[in-house]
Amino acid sequence: MDNKNREAQFLNIPTMKHERQYGFMDATFVNCGWAIATWCFLTGGLTANLVDFKTAIIAAFAGNLIGVAIMLFAEITTTVKYGVDTYPTLVSFLGRNGMKILLIFFIVINIGWVAVLSAMFSNAVQNTFTAVTGQETGHVFYTVVAIIAVFITWFMVFKGLKTIQWLNRVVVPCLAFTMIVMIWAIFNKYGIDTVFSAEPLAPYDNETVNIVLAIELNVGAGLSWWASLGSLTRTTTTARGAMWANWIGVGTLEVIAVLLGTAAAYVIGGSDPTTWMIPLGGVTLGIIALVFVCIGNISSNAIVMYATCLGMKQYKFFANMSWLKVTAIYVTPVVILEFMPEVLYGNYQILLNGSGAFFSSLAAVQIVDFYLLRKEHFDLRSVYNATSGSGYYFWKGVNWGGLICVILGGVTYCLLLNPLTWEYSSMLTVFKSASIPAFAVAFILYFIYAKLILVPSRKGALDEYKTYYRAIQKKGY
């Protein structure tokens, strides 16, 4: 078996300690490279539409803190302790076939993320070309460059984790330097008072709603990492290293990038960094910054694509397919989307809101299952056993109650805040959130469902932890 396909097969064989490639420093570099990309600046621009800069600081930190904390608590112990990717962790509360049903949603969402960042790569190249030559480019130029970005990402994913690791060792310091320079340029050119006194660009009439929506945007941003987190943490040597690497990357540097996008939106009037970096930093500095942003987009895309292609290996159709073919199939719809830029830019906000709607309820069920019901025990034999002999077989491989709880949590979010239109219910001002009620509904419903249905019917091996811990005590561990 070639090395690339062997990495893909890691999904089916949990990583052992000696197989894990990321210590704390490399995990931090990769997480920072994952976090700092154009989507942060776009989130900042959307936040600027709703609130002033002082409120944006609170909304960005509070929202991201909530989203990242939920995500890490739900996933990090399982993925690091047992060396598994994100998707196998779903088997214990959805069943193997239930996980495959939900995996379709993740694949679609991640195709959207990769397409958006590739489009932003193209925009950066277009603006750089125009700044250097003085000539405008057209739709053909945009599409060709975006597709080139997709194939650069595909090549990195095909090469595997080592390539992503080394790229981020170079990219992250450059991105951090770029952010520092851009922050200095904003305050030097426009002044701190201008940024802090700026009014929201396109707020709703209700101030409470503006604040809630600004926080929700950033909760969604924090939760949006959920689907790809396990592909990184399972290759990290310690849980502590994985935890702090995530807090530094997606928990802190991402927020700084969001606030940079917010400040730039106030003073320049656009949320797309590919349009404001040259006006802000001048031609030379702006072009350098755009080059780093382009590379950052590729780095982020590589991690998302890598994690999703690993997930695709869960399906029988892809299980024995070569890594080359799996990744090639994945990039096909991404390439098609690059012919429709208006679809990508018009729906970025939907990707964030969709993450808040369903990842929050999914994480809630995962937390109930792993911490409250299974007492932090995860049976790997049952995860990888696709037969009726698996403890996680439920009903023909599907825990329908778990799926319904996740869906009802997402529906709760949608009733409070429509993720497609951003129309909101009057109850949003009462609960002051959409993602937290979604989390709470899924959390409570699944706990009740497990106690009333799963335990009496002896489905899901919920008492398995007792045997496990009894055996541990006997051996004197």
Rounded Cα–Cα distance for residues 414 and 425 (Å): 9
Bridge partners of residue 398, in order along the sequence = 395
The secondary structure of 407-420 as a DSSP string is HHHHHHHHHHB-TT
State residue 472's pLDDT score: 64
Residue reference for tokens 């991640």? 110
Contact (Cβ atoms closer than 8 angstroms) between residue 216 and residue 435: yes
The secondary structure of 220-266 as a DSSP string is HHHHTTHHHHHHHHTTBS-HHHHHHHHHHIIIIIHHHHHHHHHHHHH
- What DSSP designation does 5 have? H
Reading the chain (477 residues) residue by residue, the pLDDT tens digits are 445 445 434 456 787 777 787 888 888 888 887 777 777 888 888 899 999 999 999 999 999 999 989 988 888 888 888 888 888 899 999 999 999 998 888 888 888 888 888 888 888 888 788 877 878 888 889 899 999 999 999 988 887 767 777 777 878 888 888 888 888 888 988 999 999 999 999 898 899 999 999 999 899 888 888 877 877 888 888 888 888 988 888 888 889 989 998 999 998 876 667 777 777 777 777 788 888 878 888 888 888 888 888 888 888 888 788 888 888 999 999 999 888 877 666 666 777 777 778 889 999 999 999 999 998 888 888 888 888 888 899 999 999 999 999 999 999 999 999 888 888 898 998 998 999 999 999 999 999 999 999 999 999 888 877 676 666 666 655
pLDDT tens digits for range 304-332? 888 888 888 888 888 788 888 888 999 99
What percent helix, strand, coil does the chain show, rounded to 5?
80, 0, 20
Longest dimension (CA), the chain: 76
The secondary structure of 284-343 as a DSSP string is HHHHHHHHHHHHHHHHHHHHHHHHHHHHHTTSHHHHTS-HHHHHHHHHHHHHHHTT-HHH
Rounded Cα–Cα distance for residues 334 and 116 (Å): 9
Question: Closest Cα to residue 359, out of 216, 217, 227?
Answer: 227
Rounded Cα–Cα distance for residues 352 and 88 (Å): 24
- What DSSP designation does 449 have? H
